[in-house]
Structure formats: C-alpha cells, structure tokens
Structure 1
Amino acid sequence: MSLADYMPEPLRALASFLREELTETRPGRAAQATQLGSLCLLVVFVSMTLRVPLIAVSLIVLFYGVQQNAFFTKVVAVVFVVATLLDVGCLFLVLKYAYGYPLIRIAAAGLILFGSMYLMRVNKLGLMFFAVALVAVYGQTIPDSLDFPEIGVRALMWAVVAGMYPVLLMVIVCGFLFPSRPVALLQRELHRQLSEVSARLEQMRGAAAHIDAPAASPVTRIEKDTLALQGLHTFASSDDAGYRACAPYWKACIAAVGYLRARTNVLAARSLPLGDAGRALICGLRDEVAALQASVERAEPYRCTWTPGGTERATAAAFSLDGPCRTLQELARFDPAQPAPKAPKDPLFVADTLTNPVYLRFALKVTLASLICYAFYHGAQWDGIHTSMLTCVIVAYPSTGASFQKMVLRCSGALIGALLALLTTIFIIPHLDGIAGFLLMLAPIFFAGAWVATGSERSSYIGTQFVFTFAMATLESGFGPSADLGEIRDRAIGILIGIVVSTVVYTFIWPESEADTLRQKLADALREAARLIRRSECAGGSEQLGYLQQRAVCWNAFKNCEDMYERVALEVNLRPETRQALLQRTRNVLDGGRKMLDQWDILRDRLDAEGHPPAVDTAWDAWRQQTADALDHYADGLTAQPPTAAPPRSLPIAPSADASSTLAAQARQLAAQVVELPDWTTEACSIDTAAMQPEKRI
C-alpha cells in the first residue's frame, strides 16, 4: 500500500488536486512561465539599478499582462495603457482638489470605486475597470502616508513609471523577441493530440504492449483540450492573415481531432478481437492519422490518400470504426477556401445594464467593504494593513461561491508568500552581499510562482498572490532586500482582515447565488445535446464535420456547467441540504449528458452503416425527434421556478420492429439514459429567500 492509502480523504483530494494543477500541460504554458519568470528577474534588476520604487506593482503588472500567446499579450498591454490613463487622470483630480480634505477625498475615491465596479459587471472591458478600481483604492494610501501634495504627485508619477515600463518590457520580449504565436501553439497541440490518437490505434492493434503508450485521457481532459484549441483558433484568426483565410478548415480540423481522441480512447479500452481484417483497417487509419499529422506540421490542408473499399467499410462498421473513417474522409474533402460565417459581435454592455438592480448592489457591496477596511486601518493608525482594502476589491465576484473561491486562493497565496518571505529573511538574506546572489535567491520563487500562475483558473491566482506578497514583504523597503519582519506580518494580517470583512459583507448583504443560473446552464447544455440528436442527417457530405462541431459546442456547454458547479459547491450562504441536493442532481445530469453524447455517436454510426428503406429512415427520424423533444421538455422544466424537470416515464426503445437487434439495443440504451435523468420535482432545489440565508446556530 502507498502512503496515499493512509491519508484522510480530504488530504487525498487536496493532493490529487495539486498534482493535477501542477502537471497540467496547457498549450504554451512552459513558454509563458519561462517568459514570466525571466521578466520578473529583469524587472527586479532594472528597478534596483535605476532606483524605480514600487517593485511589487511592477511585478503584478507582469503577472496580469504576460499571456499564453503574443497576440493576447499585446491586447492586454493596450488595455493596461488605457487603464493607466484613466487611473492617473482620476487620481490627479482627486489629489488636486481634495488632498487636504480627507472626507471629500474618500467620498470621491468611493464614487470612482463604485462606478468602476459597476462598469466591471456590465461592460465587456471589465478588466480595465477592475484595474481602475484597484488604483483608486490603492491611491488612498498616498495622502495618508505623505504630508505634502507635491510629494504625493511625485509618488503618483513614480507609480506610473513602475506600472508602464514592465508593459514595455513584456511587449518587447513576448511580442517581438520571443513571441509565442497562436498558430504555432495550435500546430504543436494538434500534433500532440494526434500522437495520442496514433498511440490508441496501436493499442487497439495489439502493438502497444511492446511500447510505452501514454495513458488514456479522461473525457473531461479531452473536452478541456478541445476548448483550449478553440481559444487558440480565435487568437490565430485575429493574428495571422494566412490562417484567417482558411479558418473554417482549421475549426473543422480541431473538432475532428477531438472526436478522434474520444472515440479511439473508448475503443482502445474495449480490447476488441480484431482479426486480420481489423488490424489491416487500423493500419490504414494509423497511416492517415500520420498524414494528417504531417499536414498540420506544414500548416496545409489534409488530403486523403486512402479510400476504404466495401470490405473495409464493413469491417469498420463491425468494430465501430466507421465514424473515425468517415471523419478523415470528410476532412480530406473539406474546401479550405470556403468563406467563414460572420460571427455575431457581442455588445459592449449587457442587455439589462440599466434595469437590473443586481449590478448596483454589487458595486455598493464592494464599496462598503473597502470603506470599512479603510476606516479600520486608518482609525487604528496601522497603515501596514492597507492590503485589507485591496483584498475587498480583488475577491469581489458576482456570486458568493466565486468570491469565496477567490478568498481561498488569495489567503493560500498570501500565507505561502509570507512564509517564503519569513524563511528567506531569517536564513538567506543576512548572508547576501550582492545583487547576483539576491537574484539567484529570487529565481526559484519567481519561476515557481510563474508556473502556478499560468495554470488553470482554479489555482492560478495562488501563484500571482504568493509572488506579490513575497515582493511586498521583501522588496518594498528601499532598493535592496528587506529584513523587516513587521512588513511580512502586516501584509498577511491585512489580507486576512480583508477576507473576513468581505465574507461578512458579501454573505449577509444582497448575497448572489449561481444556483438558479446553474440550472439554466444545464438546460442550455441539454438543448445543445437535443440539437445534436435532432440533426436530420446521419452521414454523408460535409455534414459529418458540422456534426462534430456541434458536438464540440455540447462539450463547451458541459464545461461551463462544470466550472459553475465548482463555484456553487462553495456557496456558504446556501443551506447544506439545499446545496447538496442541487449538486447531486447537477452531477447526475452532467454524467448522463456525456453518456448520451457517446451513445448517440455509436447509434448514429450504426444507422449510417446499415442503411434502411425510406420508410424505416422516416421512422428513425421520428424517433430522434421524439428523443430530442424529451430533452427539450426536460430543459424547460429546469428553467422553471421552482424546477419542474422530470424525465419521461418511457421512450420507444426502437422506432421499427424491423430494426436489427444490435441497433435496437443501442437505441434502448440511449432511451434509458434519457429516462434515468434525475427528477427535480421530488425535492425543491430552487433558491428562495430563506435558503439564501446562513443557518442560525444556537
């Protein structure tokens, strides 16, 4: 037995989470982490050499600005410049007219904070207004610590320099000297995923026993990888004119590769007795996957050199390989010159900007929490804990679950950063006598923080926070390493106070829950699955690739539900029994929905392989319509208040008595999966006013 077998369940879950987050292979993560860590060391060297203050501010700009590809980094740099102009303009006005009038100054800063948080919720450029809110809050520390307006203006100008020169550095390094182009990242990731497909085919053929084949990816991992490719596709279309000219082909290729991974993973796990004909077919598929891999490396459209004959098509149908075969055939015939459909542009503001009171309440809550922290640390004359005010803004998210998730990440990162600062201050800094040794001490901390910060959203903020806390404690006192342990104490205590105040305010004053929104997201995902089943075609033409792209849309919908599921699980304002019932039903719907997608793939391939008279095809069309209507009806029940979603009592197991036994069994299995969806009417899962309040305990 391993050591993990003796660990308590919570510790095992934490260890599994950390292992998954630290080993995640997102496209471009290694290059992004290397660039970010190197730029952090460069910024420390430049700031200490040229005596530029506010090193921690320069580092946090890098952590927010360095992105996974050069195009996105440039976009964020432009946003930072615009946000800085707004920040400086607002603060100059406040300092000019209200420096000596604390009440007016705080009121003006509160109005700026309120407006910024409101615009962050309703505007597409929310990141820019988030930066304005942070600077408006942080700017209040300048008049409190300096007695003369001239010195305050000088400090503000140095803050502009400390924030802008890292933007210039990251654009030069990440945008021009060592750019990570979205097209190159996309090609490398497609190549990696196709290598996994080849490994699964070798495993099916029986040759994998003699080689070290990589472990099969779970369904959620394939979903995440496909969605990451779609994100790169969006950036590549904006960054490269040549890619944009054949963007529809690459979008279809991404969907096809995701499908090939999913199907070969499932088939490789079955250990089918293939025989000589099956092995020959798999050899042909493997060669075509290799040809697709080569075309991806050359950034050229894939062209098929293999056309399966009648015997091979029959073998493919017998071993459920007709779907992959048809996918490669259709991708080879895809016209890369066809025009891309124009995607609708998202409006700048949300539709209910002026009518939904939730946005105003959110801005009021954040402003109130920040002012409470300001009044506390200013009244106590403890300026070192001003990070409490920043914390209230940083952890402000629409729902209590998302805010609590951010609080946990911020608290964890702050504690790690404070511990590292404490250890280095006691054991390492006293022995340093030059900047070279100091940079060597910082390098592993910065690169570790960069690696964590470039991971998934579930944990990336820990890396940003622990580097920022470490820098605030060790780099902000003069232009050299600090040995003041009081700084470490004050920063950590300030963050903890901010978390406590935010928890109280966001939980008890107009708490927002994503519970009802989660049911809406589940309904949207099921409607996408119904649309997939309802498609009138079963094969032929380029419809196969259209089907696969719609399947990728379903994956995206389920992934959005998974993300919201994790946030709702942290909503402390829900009663435990209400939250548990909601989460259990949500998990059942997600698992059932994914099984339906896989089962419909199998059934759809079988329908095409067998071929039927027109009357039987019409009967199958009616059956598919009935199944899709059942999913739509269930989705409508999910959006009701209270939910009225209940699965159908029964569905026809097969549309025709003439259907083969195999086809009927597959149809029966899909119908059973629809019927087994959870019943939401047995116990109310809607969120009423009483359920939103925390339990009263005696």
Structure 2
Amino acid sequence: MALWQKDRVSNALVGVGVNIVILILLTIIYGLIHLTLDHPMGLVIVTALLSFAFFFLGSASKLKPVAYMIGLSTIYGLIAIDDVPVGEVVTRALLYTDLFLAVPGTVMVVLGLLICPSPRRVLTNDIAARLRMAYRLLNNPDGRLREQATDMLREGTTGMMKSVKMAGLEKIWSPHDLACLKQAAISSVSILALADAASRSAIPQGDAACLTQVFEKMAAIFADGDYPADIERPALSMSSDTIREMANLLPNFTTPPVESSETDSEKKKSGFFDEDAFSNPDHVRFAVKGTAAVMLSYLTFKALDWQGIHTCIITCFIVALPTMGEMVSKLTLRISGALIGGAFGIASIIFVMPHLDGITGFLALVFVVSLIGAWVKTGDERIAYAGFQIGLAFYLTDLKGYGPTSDMATARDRIVGIMLGNFITYAMFTSFWPASAYDGLGDRLRGLKDCLIRQTRATTPQTRTKALAETQSALLESERTLEYAMSEPVHMRADRRQIETARSAIDDAAILSEELLATPGRADFPERAARLERIAS
C-alpha cells in the first residue's frame, strides 16, 4: 500500500531497494540487541539517541522522505524484540522478519513487471491528459474544469520527468525519442497554461475549433504510446497573443533544445546535508521535539503495560513534521483515515467474519477495503495520505499473527495507540519551539519571483516552456505553504489580512506566469514583481 508505484521500473527498483534497506536495518537491530537486551536503561538511551538521529536526518538531509520510516522500523524493532525471550528465538525472529518483508519486495518486482505499464507509456498518457484538458478548456470551460486544470498545472513536470528517467533505465527506448518526449512533456504544460488563460477571454469559435482538432489528434497519438514528429502550425485568425503563442509552440512541441546538455551540466550539485544543517537551530529543535514525543509514548505504554497501543510510537514518527501547519494537516489525515479504516475493520469483524469459512472470502474482504484505500491514495495530494491510513488501520485491526482476528480488543488498542500518539506529538510540537509555516512563505515567494524573472529572460520556445514548468512548481510550493499556514492553531496563525495579501499575490503570480508565456516583455512586470518582493519581505 505504501510503496506501490505507477510503472514497472519504479516498482522493481523499490522492491529491490526495500529488501536492501531491511537487511541493513536488521543488521543494525541485531547489533543493538546485544547492547540493550536485559539492560532496560540501555534500551531507553539507545532509543532516544536513534530517535534524535533519524529526526535530525529527516529535517536536515536528503533522507527527508525515508528517514522517518527507517527510524520507525528500527525503533519499533528494538521495542518488539525487547519482549522476545533471549537466545535463538531472537535470531529466528529477525530471520523471519527478513523473510516476510522479502515477500512484498519480490511481489513488487514480479507483479509490477507483469501488470504495470512502462514508464514511457505512463509519460505519454500524462501528456495526452494535458492536451485533452487543454481542448476541453477551449470548448466549454467552467469553474470545476478550471479547478482541475489548475491542479494539473501545479504538478508541473515533476512526475513526467521521473517517468523520463525511469524509461531511460529500461535501455530499450531510443535516447532521441526520450528527448523528444521530455520536450513534449514540458510543452504540454505550456499548452495547458495558455488554454487556461484563453478560457478566461473570448475566443473566436473558428480558432477554438481549429486548435481543438489539432490537440485531439496529438492526444490520440500520445495515448497510443507514440509522439507526433512534425506538427504544422495551424492557420488561425491570431486574434490574441495567447492564441498566437499556442500556434507558435506546436511546430517545436517535440523538438528538444540543442543546449539541453549544457544547462543540465550547469546545475549545482548539493551534498547529503542541507547547507544550514549544522548552523540552523531549527533542525536540532525539531529532533529534540520528535525524540521527546517518542520517549513519552514509549514510557506511557510501558508504564501502562499495554502492549497493544504500541502504534503510539509509530504515530510519532509519521506525523512529526517541521512546521505546525504541515503537522496538523497530516495529523488530521491520519486521524480521519485511521477512524475510517478502523470502522471498516470493526464492522467486518462484527458482520462479515462470522460468515467466512475460508481464506477466499477473507481475501475478497481485504481486496475491497484495499481498493477503497488505494483509490483515495491515488487522488489529490491533500487527501492521499488518508487513503494509506485507511488501509493500514484496517490491516492492523483485522490481521493478527498469521491470519484474521475476531478479537475486538486488537482494533480498540491500536486505534487508541494512534490517538495517543497524535495527542502526544501535537502537545510536544505546540509547547516547545512551535514553528509556523508562514515563516517560510517569504522564501517561497522569492523563489517564485526568480522563476518569473527567468520566464521574461527566456529567448527560445523550449526555454520559455521549461521556465513556465518551473514557475508552476514554485506556485505549488507557495500555495501549499499558505494552506499549511491557514490550518495552524489560532494562537500562532498569521493575521488574516497578511494571509489574504499573500493569497492575492500568489493568484496574481499564477496569472502573470501565463501572461508572460504569450507576452514576455510585459510593461507591468517590474511593478508586479516588486509587489511580490515586498510581500515576501
């Protein structure tokens, strides 16, 4: 549920990677067991030190996406082994852990290669989706459609560039074809942005129909897994700069820039740690708060001698994030997802389990709930995490040992553990050095302004489309930071007027990015950029 990917290459890499990581973790846990077994104080000290290290890495290094999961696995492994008898049983438990984690890794590799599309096909489908959205905007725009188009625009090219990279690893596609598809991915974002701008003004029906016909043909080619090599510039009335620029982009839609290799080599390589890893006290403060939450959760369930609520420790690693806005958002998703998944689990124990007499029915039950959780997880990023929690809470509720359980105490204990972990983490992060998401909005807005400046300096169709894609990613970061700031507790939330001013500036920057694509030399750009800088300061 957590690791499954869209394409076969990513699944194979993740499947192999998870087994390598687990082997390393089990080796570390095995070594630490010899230091802490039968030494309760030693276990407490090691747990605290490891928690601090993983939280610090999650805040100040390139391990941000996985540091918390590695820390969670290591700490939980140490705590679980603490209840296992000494001797051969410990070694056998670690070996079986490696075995049952090797199974999903192997399934991801084998099943992913059998049923998942190639990353190239995922890429061409994404390009086709943007072209289809563009001609829908030109034909019959409405509020809901514009909202969907905006969400698609804000994705930028991040996902599509990942597909290009994964397709390159397959070594079965021509580098020239991949370069053309890479440019097509960047161009599709610009076409969608121009269509969004055009939908807000009156478009001659003849021009709209002509562009729609071209986009439909292109989308059909991409949907078949190919790309158009020569696209003729359609004959339009050129009634607006936006329409003219859309027509100008088409002949170079799949033409890669000659200077692409030079620009890639100019990118500055960054190290493993962030530049301010050892100078910014916020990283240490974050690690201290996270460690305090983990240790308080550990001491709580040990003092209560309530082993079933061990999910409180897992929760501390999952919901701890650098700012309060991020943490509240994720905490809300974890609570709602856990309650829904737990409700599914309890309902199935009461109403479904008594009627099951074999593994087939139980697998069907798991399939249905997993499908619901996976459907939510593949949705909008704002709610995707709740889908994972629906599945996880259901598995924790209905699975115990090596099969299904009818014990209601399991569901109760694990949901109580999740709620307790949420409460402890929230209390720690709001009581000590609370960090507001609004404090980081200035940097986001300055980055957005720099992207807009690069748009004005672009001289070729390829560089203009690439600059626009970077601007869309910067817009997403700014909008998401503002959303986090608005979800923070009232006592630390920014003033409403400040939030509205920032929202207005971001909305204006979104419109400006589309306008710059059609008219790079806008006379009002310096004034609008200066306003963005003032708000960022």
Specify the alignment match of 1:179 in structure 2: 116
Which of 341, 359, 373 in structure 2 is aligned with 1:417?
341
Which of 496, 510, 520 in structure 2 is aligned with 1:594?
510
Give the whole-Å Cα distance in 1 for the aligned partners of 2:241 and 2:533: 37
Specify the alignment match of 1:507 in structure 2: 430
Of residues 281-290 and 519-528 in structure 1, the stretch that sits farther from structure 2 once superposed is: 281-290
Structure 1 residue 224 and structure 2 residue 146: aligned?
no
Which of 564, 570, 575 in structure 1 is aligned with 2:481?
564
Secondary structure at 2:238's aligned position in 1? helix
RMSD, aligned α-carbons: 2.9
Specify the alignment match of 1:517 in structure 2: 440
Structure 1 residue 157 and structure 2 residue 84: aligned?
no
Kindly report which structure 2 residues correspond to 1:217-616, keeping only aligned pairs within 5 A, or say none: 218-224=148-154, 226-227=156-157, 228-240=159-171, 242=173, 244-268=175-199, 270-272=201-203, 274=205, 279=206, 284-293=210-219, 295-296=221-222, 297=224, 299-305=226-232, 308=235, 312=236, 315-317=237-239, 320-331=242-253, 334=255, 340=261, 341-343=263-265, 344=267, 345-476=269-400, 478-535=401-458, 537=459, 543-572=460-489, 574-576=491-493, 578-601=494-517, 603=519
AA aligned to 1:113 is: S
Give the whole-Å Cα distance in 2 for the aligned partners of 1:320 and 1:634: 25
Q: Deviations over 1:280-335 (max 9, x none)?
A: x5565445435534553463452034574xxx5xx214685211111113337x36
Shift of 1:261: 2.8
Distance 1:569 1:74, change over 3 A: farther
Shift of 1:264: 3.3
Give the whole-Å Cα distance in 2 for the aligned partners of 1:373 and 1:217: 41
AA aligned to 1:245 is: H
Give the whole-Å Cα distance in 2 for the aligned partners of 1:215 and 1:505: 42
Specify the alignment match of 1:11 in structure 2: none
Secondary structure at 1:242's aligned position in 2? coil
Is this contact kept in 2: 1:511–1:573, CA < 8 A?
no
Is this contact kept in 1: 2:256–2:462, CA < 8 A?
no
AA aligned to 1:223 is: L
Distance 1:199 1:90, change over 3 A: closer
Specify the alignment match of 1:693 in structure 2: none
Give the whole-Å Cα distance in 2 for the aligned partners of 1:144 and 1:107: 14
Distance 1:354 1:245, change over 3 A: farther
Specify the alignment match of 2:10 in structure 1: 72
Give the whole-Å Cα distance in 2 for the aligned partners of 1:634 and 1:339: 33
Distance 1:143 1:82, change over 3 A: closer
Shift of 1:104: 0.7
Structure 2 runs not aligned, ≥5 long: none
Q: Return the TM-score normalized by structure 2.
A: 0.89
Which of 96, 99, 115 in structure 1 is aligned with 2:53?
115
Is this contact kept in 1: 2:51–2:294, CA < 8 A?
no
Distance 1:481 1:492, change over 3 A: same
Distance 1:455 1:597, change over 3 A: same
Structure 1 residue 194 and structure 2 residue 131: aligned?
yes
Shift of 1:161: 1.8
Give the whole-Å Cα distance in 2 for the aligned partners of 1:426 and 1:528: 56
Q: Return the TM-score normalized by structure 1.
A: 0.70
Shift of 1:231: 4.1
Distance 1:573 1:374, change over 3 A: farther
Q: Deviations over 1:462-510 (max 9, x none)?
A: 222222222222211x433211111111111111111111011111112
AA aligned to 2:226 is: A
Distance 1:149 1:135, change over 3 A: farther
Specify the alignment match of 1:637 in structure 2: 534
Give the whole-Å Cα distance in 1 for the aligned partners of 2:406 and 2:9: 40
Distance 1:238 1:353, change over 3 A: farther
AA aligned to 1:321 is: I
Distance 1:265 1:119, change over 3 A: closer
Of residues 228-237 and 549-558 in structure 1, the stretch that sits farther from structure 2 once superposed is: 228-237
Give the whole-Å Cα distance in 1 for the aligned partners of 2:174 and 2:440: 37
Distance 1:569 1:147, change over 3 A: same
Which of 72, 76, 101 in structure 2 is aligned with 1:138?
76
Secondary structure at 2:253's aligned position in 1? helix
AA aligned to 1:150 is: E
AA aligned to 2:70 is: V
Of residues 64-73 and 496-505 in structure 1, the stretch that sits farther from structure 2 once superposed is: 64-73
AA aligned to 2:411 is: I
Is this contact kept in 2: 1:415–1:492, CA < 8 A?
yes
Q: Deviations over 1:638-659 (max 9, x none)?
A: 45xxx3xxxxxxxxxxxxxxxx
Give the whole-Å Cα distance in 2 for the aligned partners of 1:247 and 1:271: 37
Q: Deviations over 1:41-66 (max 9, x none)?
A: xxxxxxxxxxxxxxxxxxxxxx2221
AA aligned to 2:251 is: Q
Is this contact kept in 2: 1:400–1:506, CA < 8 A?
yes
Give the whole-Å Cα distance in 2 for the aligned partners of 1:595 and 1:584: 17
Of residues 156-165 and 422-431 in structure 1, the stretch that sits farther from structure 2 once superposed is: 156-165
Distance 1:284 1:472, change over 3 A: closer
* Greater RCO, CA 8 A, separation 6+: 2
Q: Deviations over 1:103-129 (max 9, x none)?
A: 112211222222222222222133443
Is this contact kept in 2: 1:248–1:339, CA < 8 A?
no
Aligned residues: 530
Give the whole-Å Cα distance in 1 for the aligned partners of 2:384 and 2:504: 28
Is this contact kept in 2: 1:114–1:364, CA < 8 A?
yes
Secondary structure at 1:459's aligned position in 2? helix
Structure 1 runs not aligned, ≥5 long: 1-62, 205-213, 538-542, 605-620, 644-698
Is this contact kept in 1: 2:167–2:173, CA < 8 A?
no
Which of 23, 27, 42 in structure 2 is aligned with 1:89?
27
Is this contact kept in 2: 1:80–1:128, CA < 8 A?
no
Q: Deviations over 1:18-77 (max 9, x none)?
A: xxxxxxxxxxxxxxxxxxxxxxxxxxxxxxxxxxxxxxxxxxxxx222112222223333
Distance 1:385 1:532, change over 3 A: same
Shift of 1:96: 1.7
AA aligned to 1:523 is: R
Give the whole-Å Cα distance in 2 for the aligned partners of 1:339 and 1:591: 31
Secondary structure at 1:121's aligned position in 2? helix
Is this contact kept in 1: 2:197–2:515, CA < 8 A?
no
Is this contact kept in 1: 2:187–2:465, CA < 8 A?
yes
Distance 1:599 1:490, change over 3 A: same
Is this contact kept in 2: 1:401–1:568, CA < 8 A?
yes
AA aligned to 2:506 is: L
